[in-house]
Structure 1
């Protein structure tokens, strides 16, 4: 970096400060439970990618759980038919929210 011009050094220092402040801001707005499951990154862009990857796997697990719950549902008389149908519709709506059509 010795051969870099003063403007390049200043730009790099400004980028480094901006990156550090962005990471601090992002981490301060994420709950500790989620933050603990995301690997530590030194760049804000990489940290955002890690968050996205974490939620993709979370969505897949949630979808799998909801599909299993919906397929295993049987009306056993413990609640009204209306309540049973509403519960099934709720699960179907949550799956549609995850972009899974039934």
Structure 2
């Protein structure tokens, strides 16, 4: 039998910790959304296809799975919409499927690999130690950018 999804805290309070998607911060927003939905155990609708519609021949397990999927889909969609700026929401397609909605956001805002690589390379080549932060922070920042550059080229 499918596990019953429980949401232990307010969806709104967890959504308030996610940076509002404004367009230029897609990757940060995406990571926060994925993490929070995982913590809330609401990723089922993002990982599994919608189960077949229930009918009089459906088993108790199929009915439970369908109800669980519908709930996680609805809550995931609401969660994502809470964390997107209003001017962006109006330009996204209206869908009742959380995975389709996330895909539409990703298609619109995920930087292409070449432009991301170019941006990171420019940041790395012009980066200078300014003395305001510690040397360790500066090195960690450079290592982070190098790792992002490596993953964008793979």
TM-score bin (small chain): 0.5 to 0.7
| Structure 2: runs of 5+ lacking an equivalent | 1-54, 123-154
1:54 offset after TM fit, Å? 1.4
Name the counterpart of 2:66. Answer: 12
2: CA distance, partners of 1:11 / 1:27: 24
Change (3 A) 1:99 1:48: farther
In terms of fraction of residues, the more helix-rich structure is 1
1:23-69 Cα offsets, whole Å, 9 max, x none, are 0000001000111110011111100110011125xx57xx7xxxxxx
Determine whether 1:51 maps to 2:105. Answer: yes
Change (3 A) 1:35 1:99: farther
Q: Of the two, which has the highest radius of gyration?
A: 1
Give the TM-score normalised by structure 1. Answer: 0.55
Change (3 A) 1:98 1:46: farther
1:97 offset after TM fit, Å? 2.0
| Structure 1: runs of 5+ lacking an equivalent | 64-93
Cα RMSD, aligned residues only = 2.5
Give structure 1 regions of 4+ aligned residues with deviation exceeding 6 angstroms. none
Determine whether 1:35 maps to 2:57. Answer: no
Change (3 A) 1:95 1:5: closer
1:74-97 Cα offsets, whole Å, 9 max, x none, are xxxxxxxxxxxxxxxxxxxx8822
Alignment size in residue pairs: 66
2: CA distance, partners of 1:16 / 1:45: 12
